[in-house]
Every structure is written in structure tokens, then in C-alpha cells.
A = this chain, B = another copy of it.
């Protein structure tokens, strides 16, 4: 897969934010062969399935996951309706601005925050709430919209793949409904190609018509071993191209790698403390350890953000 210099296509045009080098060349080589009918690595159009993780692969996941930032804003917005929160953890700490204190309760505390902000309303109400937030909420470090904290090189890659007949899917541990409110605008990926974690839903016939009520129960966690399961449930086909950035993506990469014929596995390694963040093996968010080992052992492409990307974020407001 990593055989530089074998492509006849000029690489510079469609991936301008990627510096020339092994990774860019391996992407261009793979795609060039995949669409070349006479190449042994030709991929039938029906099989051109590319899957991407979202947090840390397509957009920034630091200093906290964007969806957690949304949940915290919702706790603040809903607090007047919940006077009991001023004395109940994790809400009390959150409302005092003490995120660490709030999350000290671990998974159960996080689950309480998710339930309080992601359940007990209809899917339409939730969608509107996320939409209103995503078009206004800004990142604490850059003051850009969260939706502008996407990686320009990955946007180019998504477009390049689609221009070559690939269907581009997102498989994220984040919430499917959350991502779908902006995936089409931000990534050019329609809702049905965005798969993520989900809560249980209940169909109800109300006077005003049927609704889907969001229940406070987990339906599916699209992370780690859940990713290949989600891929099979939603696509029913094995991808030939996969990109992730953390150990949560390892099984998705393994599943993609294990198919027959040509395939491409890539990892975004966050190495750029100046333009973004630098983190990997010991990070609480986006831990990249065993997947980095396996990438090295198997020859998967590893993007060194600092080296491989001449541009991280879209330059202008989008």
C-alpha cells in the first residue's frame, strides 16, 4: 500500500492541504488503483465504501468532546427548571463551573448528564436544540464555531473519495442524532451515512401526530468492538477504506483490513501542539496506544499532523 511514486495522477490538485510524502502518496495510490479497471487493486463501484471516525479524525476532540460541551451548555440552560440540581451531583459541580469535580463521578456521572440533556424529549425537539447550538456555540480556545473546528485535509479527502465513486460514512462513538444535524452541511455526508451511538426510542401517537420519544436507555454504543458491529448492521458490507485516530477505532480498522483485495487503513496522529493538540498514548481523550502499535506492525498509514498537513482548519469562516 505504501509504495510512493507509482501513481500517475497529480496529487496536488485535490488534496492541497496535504504535504507531499508517504501518507499522501499512499492515499492517492490507493484511490488511483481502486478506480483503474485494469489494475489488480481495482475496486468495484459498489464496494467503494469508506468509513471515518468523527471525534479527533474529522474534527477536534480537545479539550473536551464537542458533544460534551453541548451537554454542559444544556445543563446550564435547563438549570432554572431543575432547582434540585444546585445540590445534586454531578450537576451542582457543573453549575459552579467545576467540570473536573462533576466528572469525578466517572461513567455514572456522565450518564446522568447525558440522560438529563439527551432524553425525555422528541427526536424533533432534540434535533432543533442541537441545530440551534451548533450554529452559535464556539470553541473555548479558538473562538471559532465548533463546526469550523473540522480538519481541512480530511474535508479534502472526503471530497476526493466521493469524486472517485466512494460512499463516505461516519462511524463515531458520539451520538448519531447529534452529528446528523450538521453532517450534511459540514462534511457533505447525508444523515443516513452517519452512524453513531444511539439511545432507545419509543413511537407514540399523540394528538398532534406521531412522535419518537427519546428514552433514557442506551441502545447501541458505536465504539471499539461496536464499530464493526455497527458497520455490519448499517452497511452490511465490509469497507475498503477506514480512517480513525484512537484505540476506539482499532476494531474498525482491523475489520476493514481483514477483507480481501486492496484496502487502506489510516490513523490521524495528533502531533501538533501548536496548531491543534499533541496527544496519544496517555491521553484521557482519544487515547492512541494499541492502535498505533498495530498500525506500525501492519504498515497502516499514520498521519503525522505536524508533518503531513500544511493546513489544519478551514481558513475562512464557512
Contact = CB atoms under 8 A, between A and B. Distances in A.
A210 B176 contact: no
Contacts of A190: 46, 237
A177 interface: yes
B46 A236 contact: no
21 contacts: A169-B192, A180-B236, A190-B237, A192-B192, A192-B193, A198-B233, A201-B233, A202-B225, A203-B226, A203-B228, A203-B229, A205-B254, A209-B254, A209-B258, A210-B228, A210-B254, A210-B255, A210-B258, A212-B229, A212-B232, A219-B233
Interface in A183-239: 184, 190-194, 198, 201-203, 205, 209-210, 212, 219, 225-226, 228-229, 232-237
A93 interface: no
B229 A201 contact: yes
A203 B251 contact: yes
Contacts of A234: 192, 234
A62 interface: no
Interface residues of A, number: 36
Q: 3 closest Cβ contacts across the A-B interface?
A: A191-B236, A203-B225, A209-B258
Nearest to A183: B236
Interface of A: 46, 123, 167, 169, 176-177, 180, 184, 190-194, 198, 201-203, 205, 209-210, 212, 219, 225-226, 228-229, 232-237, 251, 254-255, 258
A229 B229 CA distance: 19
A169 B193 CA distance: 13
B191 A212 contact: no
A211 B210 CA distance: 39
Nearest to A201: B229
A166 to B, nearest CB: 13
A79 B251 CA distance: 35
A288 B210 CA distance: 20
B225 A191 contact: no
A232 B225 CA distance: 23
Contacts of A169: 192
A234 B176 CA distance: 9
A200 to B, nearest CB: 8
Contacts of A258: 209-210
B235 A191 contact: yes
A217 to B, nearest CB: 13
Contacts of A177: 236
B176 A233 contact: yes
Contacts of A251: 203, 210
B228 A192 contact: no
A191 B192 CA distance: 13
A11 to B, nearest CB: 29
A190 B234 CA distance: 11
Contacts of A226: 203
